[in-house]
Structure 1
Amino acid sequence: MSIQRVRSKTAKTNALLANPVLKEYVPTTNDFGRSTVQRMLDQFEMIYVKPVDGTFGNGVIRVEKRIGANRPYFFQSGETKFSFVGFDEMFDKLLLVKKNKPYLAQQGIHLLKHSGRRFDLRVMVQKNPRSRWETTGMIGRVAHPRKIVTNYHAGGTPMPVTVLLKNYLTAEQYRSYEARLRKLGVDIAVALEKRFPRIKEIGVDVAIDRSLKPWILEVNTLPDPFLFKKLPTRSVFRRIYSYAVAYGRFGVRKRKT
């Protein structure tokens, strides 16, 4: 039986929203459109618009309404920034800049920062050899100084989560918080499996806001395990890779003789 991949962000979001506990961790998300973007900017002042089917942060745009500014409407795509006096002018330019594919609009979360750079977390959850969901790894992703996305393929820097959170949590608080994130990862996998029964692994992108609330930004059903090779210890990657081999994502590597 092949491993299921779910490309649609909307389908995955709807599966999470069906869970009364998990929906509290999902940012407000809607189909992209002129009235939707205007309403969400009025409500949140910062949103992200992203392709419904996209990877590596490609096509993601950060849109803001800066109250009191001379040119209050602003968006950034890649390293390019635009500012506008009025909403309609901004939205028309946004239509030209975004990719020609379906998009969604998501409530913006103000991420914690490390050395002035925003970061989020990737939580890896897999079916273990006993066919139970297990959180097998967590890693931080620090955004490139000039970019809005944290993805490694977009210039982000992988870092241990302990390093990123040491200025926000004591050692004791971190242990409790890590356990919370690991449980959240498993709960997400269980909820998604009900809708998509052939998934074997997920990578959850988790934002942490200034009050330390975790938010589920996105769930990838074909996550990159090799990101975890960037951690100082190789044991996390070895476990992740061995589980992936066990459920058939990768073939068994032959030992060198």
Structure 2
Amino acid sequence: MSRDFYRKLCLIGSRAGLTVFVFTPQGIRWSDDTISGYAFDSVARRWICQDYAMPDVVYDRCFFTNRKQYEAYREAIRILRSRPSPMFLGYGLKGKWEVQQMLEKDGRFSSHLPQTEEMRSVRSAADWLKARSEVLLKPQAGSQGCGVLLVRRAAGRRASQARKHGGSENTANAGAAFAVIGRDARNGRVARSFPDAASLMRWLRRFTGQRSYLLQQYLPLHGRSGEAYDVRSLVQKDGSGQWQMTGMAVRKGQQGSLTSNLHGGGTVEPAKAYLTAQFGTVQSDKILSELRSLSKQIPEALEQSHGRLAELGIDFGVDITGHIWLLEVNSKPGRSIFTYLQDKKARNNALANPIRYARYLLRHDRAKESKDGTKQNAKSVQSSPRRSNGNSLLADEA
């Protein structure tokens, strides 16, 4: 997926008069401010490695699989952001807790934010269970549904509900005091039961390890057939620098799955058709209208506290009453929902909008903010698809 995505960015950029190249933090030579990067040659139909000067715009799509990669990425970003050039297309959001706090501070989204708190220790999860009987555990830096757990006190009616909603992932039985379902760090299914709180806490301590977790209110986000689902909205800045909703789709989980993420075996359906089947035409139209409105308001609200953003994948939940909940916001979103839907227009816009927004920045952003927020004059730009100078858009990968 990544290689094809970067190839298409290179081709779209070339047609727009921009040089697009891909590099890793390890490819930067700070001694002379040059970069060893890769560009896709549309004539030879292959990737070509060559040296480039620092780009004018950085499009950060960097992902990492280990601590060493993460540290190299953080250091490269720190140095690049401390300089007057290059510009960043957008700055990556921090963890889920920071996003939650920014949106709570805004005030407009209170009714859409699930009750959430930081898990300072597994004891805080035990306290939550005493008060509410069930809790959702989410890793602060997790993605694709990995590491997400639902923990329930499986007694009486709660045990019956756990069996009903957990499906094949739930092995709760009449003798279990607690039931856990979800996904491990490798996206494998988890289904456990525990006779008492002490054994549950020991297991949770091993499962969470040193990772930072959130405790969150569990929401009944299931369709009529019992499948988990959410609504993914992709919003991006376009060639005029304005936020636009590129598209929206429902991601539906496998039967018995806690999450709806595609990496966990989920499927994609058109949002309007799916929501109409769940709520009827009148209510689904109201839900869709509110989803569109929130998709416009959330990016603007986050930019007020966070700084420039270029695109966001916003995940919404819709409970059985039709109430909308904000589940997650991702500043490095995927685009596969449009491939699944075979929505050619949305797929093309999802690819082209970062290039369009880069051109907008190059043409109209005459001043850039330095690290302390003051303004400095930006250098003039004349983009050329053949020159290996700084007049380039950069796609950055791990």
| TM-score, normalised relative to structure 1 | 0.89
From 108, 113, 124, the counterpart of 2:223: 113
Q: Which one is further off, 188-197 or 143-152?
A: 143-152
From 164, 179, 185, the counterpart of 1:74: 179
Q: Which one is further off, 166-175 or 202-211?
A: 166-175
Task: Give 1:12's aligned residue.
Answer: 99
Check 1:235–1:99 CA distance in 2 against 1; reply closer, same or farther (3 A cut): farther
Residue 235 (1) aligns with residue 345 (2) = yes
Task: Give 1:219's aligned residue.
Answer: 329
SS at 2:138 equivalent? strand
From 109, 118, 128, the counterpart of 1:22: 109
Aligned-pair distance for 1:166? 2.1
Task: Give 1:47's aligned residue.
Answer: 135
For 2:316, give the aligned amino acid.
Answer: V
Distance (whole Å) between structure 2 residues aligned to residue 23 and residue 225 of structure 1: 28
Aligned-pair distance for 1:146? 4.3
CA contact (8 A) 1:120 1:207 kept: yes
From 265, 268, 281, the counterpart of 1:155: 265
Aligned-pair distance for 1:83? 1.2
Distance (whole Å) between structure 2 residues aligned to residue 56 and residue 85 of structure 1: 30
Check 1:66–1:178 CA distance in 2 against 1; reply closer, same or farther (3 A cut): same
Aligned-pair distance for 1:10? 1.0
CA contact (8 A) 2:224 2:278 kept: no
Q: Deviations over 1:129-163 (max 9, x none)?
A: 22122222111111122432211112111111123
Task: Give 2:22's aligned residue.
Answer: none
For 1:31, give the aligned amino acid.
Answer: E
CA contact (8 A) 1:7 1:54 kept: no
Q: Deviations over 1:166-223 (max 9, x none)?
A: 2233334333321110111111111111112121111111111111111111110111
From 57, 64, 67, the counterpart of 2:145: 57
Distance (whole Å) between structure 2 residues aligned to residue 121 and residue 111 of structure 1: 11
Distance (whole Å) between structure 2 residues aligned to residue 132 and residue 44 of structure 1: 42
Aligned-pair distance for 1:114? 5.2
CA contact (8 A) 2:151 2:180 kept: yes
The residue correspondences of 1:164-203 to structure 2 (distance < 5 A) are: 164-203=274-313
CA contact (8 A) 1:62 1:76 kept: yes
Q: Deviations over 1:30-64 (max 9, x none)?
A: 11133421233244433221111112111111111
Distance (whole Å) between structure 1 residues aligned to residue 335 and residue 99 of structure 2: 20
Distance (whole Å) between structure 2 residues aligned to residue 251 and residue 146 of structure 1: 43
Q: Which one is further off, 82-91 or 163-172?
A: 163-172
CA contact (8 A) 2:116 2:215 kept: yes
For 1:193, give the aligned amino acid.
Answer: E
Distance (whole Å) between structure 2 residues aligned to residue 57 and residue 46 of structure 1: 18
Distance (whole Å) between structure 2 residues aligned to residue 166 and residue 35 of structure 1: 42
Distance (whole Å) between structure 1 residues aligned to residue 342 and residue 224 of structure 2: 18
For 2:150, give the aligned amino acid.
Answer: R
Q: Deviations over 1:54-101 (max 9, x none)?
A: 121111111112342432311123222111232232121111123531
Check 1:212–1:72 CA distance in 2 against 1; reply closer, same or farther (3 A cut): farther
Number of residues of Structure 1 aligned to a counterpart in Structure 2: 252
CA contact (8 A) 2:287 2:322 kept: no
Distance (whole Å) between structure 1 residues aligned to residue 393 and residue 315 of structure 2: 26
Aligned-pair distance for 1:28? 0.9
Distance (whole Å) between structure 1 residues aligned to residue 155 and residue 321 of structure 2: 22
Distance (whole Å) between structure 1 residues aligned to residue 294 and residue 193 of structure 2: 38
Check 1:137–1:43 CA distance in 2 against 1; reply closer, same or farther (3 A cut): farther
Residue 135 (1) aligns with residue 245 (2) = yes
Structure 2, unaligned runs of 5 or more: 1-86, 160-174, 184-188, 360-391
- Higher Cα radius of gyration: 2
CA contact (8 A) 1:225 1:240 kept: yes
| TM-score, normalised relative to structure 2 | 0.59
Distance (whole Å) between structure 2 residues aligned to residue 199 and residue 229 of structure 1: 24
CA contact (8 A) 1:144 1:150 kept: yes
Aligned-pair identity (%): 26
Q: Which one is further off, 194-203 or 30-39?
A: 30-39
